[in-house]
Amino acid sequence: MQDHDAIAAVYQQDGVVRIRAFFQPEQVEAIRVELERYVRDDLAMKPADARTVEADGETIRNLWRLEQHNSFFHELGHQRQITDLVRRLVGGRPLLVGVETFNKPARVGSAVPSHQDNAYFCQVPADMLTVWVAIDAVTEANGPVSFLRGSHRLGMLPTQPSGVAGNSIGLASPPRGPEEQEFRATLDPGDVTIHHCQIVHHSAPNHSDQSRLGLLLVYRGEHTRTDPRLRAAYDKARSMTPPA
Ligand SMILES: O=C(O)CCC(=O)C(=O)O
């Protein structure tokens, strides 16, 4: 499904939309090669807040701020293939605000607690989204992101610090719905999901032998502004488990 009208209709209704084969195999391979090169050659020279590691103290859980640290990812985030669609979904000129990874490595990849991204982004109006690109296959076994369809229409829900490095703020009381409201985003490499910054979502640990690497491109409409109340709650949570 590459038709922008159809994508926008699902996004507005559900708060999340899956698009198959958005990136070609050679684009996925180029992303993987550059991530591996960046980690091998550059990461040690970057500030501490460029990464979060898993509990073993060495395996990478997240790379942060790739749009600042790496020209390949800065350029990727500005490709018309992506920004033309994002413009439609955020209802204004799209600004790239983050490129990051959720690596969910085999066996040690940790859980992501239930949250709304706007508790981190703190924007009003909530015209902000994430394009989540599957670099590895995402299966039921390796910790797919699970979304509660339609929950982006609930507004911002009460938060609490989660104590999880890389996901410092979570929901105080995650809403639940019937099983059919859950969307577990299984993906082939090159597929993407696009999710609204208020949709409730989480992911399980990866106990499998297959890594589940995702590249995330985060955008807001140029017209959004920071909400000081949301920002104060996030700053408090983040100070307990930096950097994000
Ligand atoms: O990749 C994951 O497991 C979680 C991603 C996430 O929380 C997000 O995209 O906001």
pLDDT band at 39 (very low <50, low <70, confident <90, very high): very high
- What span, in angstroms and rounded, lies between the C-alpha atoms of 192 and 132? 5
Let me know how many helices (H) and strands (E) the chain has, helices first: 7, 15
Give this prediction's pTM. Answer: 0.96
| Mean pLDDT within 59-65 | 97
Residue 39, judged by CB atoms within 10 A of its CB (0-12, 13-18, 19+), counts as: middle
% of the chain with per-residue pLDDT over 70? 100
Residue 160 pLDDT: 86
Residue 100 structure tokens: 């990051």
pLDDT band at 17 (very low <50, low <70, confident <90, very high): very high
The alpha carbon dihedral of 58, 61, 66, 70 has a sign of positive
Give the tens place of pLDDT for each residue, 95-110: 999 999 999 999 999 9
Neighbours of 40 (CB within 10 A): 9
Residue 216 CB–ligand 1 contact under 6 Å:
yes
- What span, in angstroms and rounded, lies between the C-alpha atoms of 148 and 201? 6
Give the tens place of pLDDT for each residue, 47-57: 999 999 999 99
Residue 1 pLDDT: 54
The boundaries of the domain holding residue 219 are 4-240
CATH code of 72's domain = 2.60.120.620
**Partners of 161 in the beta sheet?**
169
Give the tens place of pLDDT for each residue, 115-133: 999 999 999 999 999 999 9
Residue 244 pLDDT: 80
Nearest CA to ligand 1 atom 8: 117
Q: Is 222 helix (H, G, I), strand (E, B) or coil?
A: coil
Distance 216 CA to ligand 1 centre (A): 8
Residue 203 CB–ligand 1 contact under 6 Å:
yes
pLDDT at 2 over 80: no
Distance 170 CA to ligand 1 centre (A): 12
Q: Is 205 helix (H, G, I), strand (E, B) or coil?
A: coil
Residue 92 structure tokens: 């204004």
- What span, in angstroms and rounded, lies between the C-alpha atoms of 141 and 94? 34
- Count up the domains in the chain and report the number: 1
pLDDT at 163 over 90: no
